[in-house]
Structure 1
Amino acid sequence: MLLTLLAVVTIAIVRQRSLFGVVILASIYSFLMASVLIVLDAVDVAMTEASVGAGVSTVLLLATLHLVKTTEMKRVRPHLLPLFVSLGTGAVLVWGTLVLPPFGTPDAAIHKHVAPRYIADTIKDTNVPNVVTSVLADYRGYDTLGETTVIFTAGIGVMLLLRKARRRGRRDDAETSR
């Protein structure tokens, strides 16, 4: 049911002409994706998806729409090139997955290198019973810190750009009132 709702929301996003509608639908998509992750027992990833994907991203995008006050132009004629590029890319990706081992196969290459060590030693090394949390916080802590720094830097950049746009808007308003 959740995957069907995800597909419906995706189609609605693609067909939506209002930027406000796209932001709201993207927020709904993030909440649905967080629900899927909870069903898959990845609660920590679900919490991140809900807070960043639905929470922070929605607030930033709505604030941007409010400050920028843009409207989307009507499409004059349908463009078929993006459709063919998307279909071609999708076909190549599906074709590339045909050589992969079946999902969940225990003898796949990904399960033979580091995963057995993480599963066997996670409680002894980190004293954390959740393997995903121990990988993100302990084994790959610097990587997670780097990703968080990138997201924080991007957020600060967006805020500075919006602040500059707001100042420019005030200056334009003052000049037109003279």
Structure 2
Amino acid sequence: MSLLLNTVLLVFLLVTAFAVMRVKVLLAMVMLFGLYSLLVSSLFVVLDAPDVAFTEAAVGTGISTVLMLVTLAAVRHGHSAPIKPGKRALPLLLSLAMGSLVIFGIQDLPAFGDSQSPAYQQVAKHYIEKGVDETGVPNLVTAVLASYRGFDTLGEVTVVLTAGIGVLLLLGRREKVHLKARRNDE
């Protein structure tokens, strides 16, 4: 049953990804991106990663789709902020610097799936052997997420909250731009 469900989700993901590449209407593309994120979220649920599924559903399906729709609506109404030539250099430099830092940091990571990496040698063994006893939680995954990895889970919640606040701020700013444009037209 699990194999069938995984296969069906994979087929839907592939069809949706292909449809996103082929569609010409921007609104349909935004909706397909939302569907794709929802399917990825469903896949995480099937793979027993509900915390990742929740984050993907909230950020990928919800917030990203809303941001794309707001952007699409703003572009259709002809609102554009003129960008001065000197203002493009700083974001470009920051992006290149961050990209370089990420590439530099990746060099120190162990090879993917390396059974000799420190995470597999010490921490995982401790979680499996003593997780239920030390936390008192019968489900090992919940024990790890809530007790040992509590700050990681708090970080995920913070990401979702920050993204939500960002969307609210952008929507509020957009309404101010509309009001300012109406006042200028009158």
Normalising to structure 1: TM-score of the pair? 0.65
- Determine which of 153, 165, 177 is the counterpart of 2:174: 165
Q: Does 1:147 align with 2:156?
A: yes
**Percent of aligned positions that are identical:** 45
Partners of 2:151 and 2:48 lie apart in 1 by 24
Q: Partner letter of residue 137 of structure 1? A: A
The answer on whether the counterparts of 1:64 and 1:162 sit within 8 Å (CA) in structure 2 is no
Given residue 170 of structure 2, which amino acid in structure 1 is its aligned partner? L
Q: Which residue is equivalent to 1:112?
A: 121
Aligned residues: 147
Q: Deviations over 1:67-96 (max 9, x none)?
A: x2438xxxxxxxxxxxxxxxxxxxxxxxxx
**Contact 1:44–1:133 (CA under 8 A) maintained in structure 2:** no
Provide closer, same or farther for how the CA distance between residues 144 and 168 of structure 1 changes in structure 2, counting only shifts above 3 A.
same
1:57 aligned residue (47, 61, 64): 64
Q: Which runs of 5+ in 2 are unaligned?
A: 1-6, 78-109
Q: 1:16 to 1:131 in 2, by over 3 A?
A: farther
Name the SS of the counterpart of 1:57 in structure 2: helix
Selected match of 1:4 from 4, 7, 11: 11
Q: Shift in Å at residue 117 of structure 1? A: 0.9
Q: CA deviation at 1:156?
A: 1.7
Counterpart contact for 2:40–2:56, Cα < 8 Å: yes
SS of the equivalent of 1:129 reads coil
Alpha-carbon separation, structure 1, partners of 2:45 and 2:31 = 21
Matched, 1:127 2:133: no
* In 1, Cα distance between equivalents of 2:56 and 2:122: 28
Q: Deviations over 1:7-51 (max 9, x none)?
A: 221122233333322221122112222332233233443344334
CA separation in 2, counterparts of 1:38 and 1:159? 28
C-alpha RMSD of the superposition? 3.0
Q: Tell me the amino acid that sits aligned with residue 24 of structure 2.
A: R
- Aligned counterparts of 1:121 and 1:21: Cα–Cα separation in 2: 50
Unaligned segments of structure 1, at least 5 residues: 72-98
Structure 1 residues 142 and 116: alpha-carbon distance in aligned structure 2, compared to 1, 3 A threshold: same
Give me the whole-angstrom Cα distance separating, in 1, the residues matched to 2:142 and 2:45.
14
1:138 matches 2:144: no
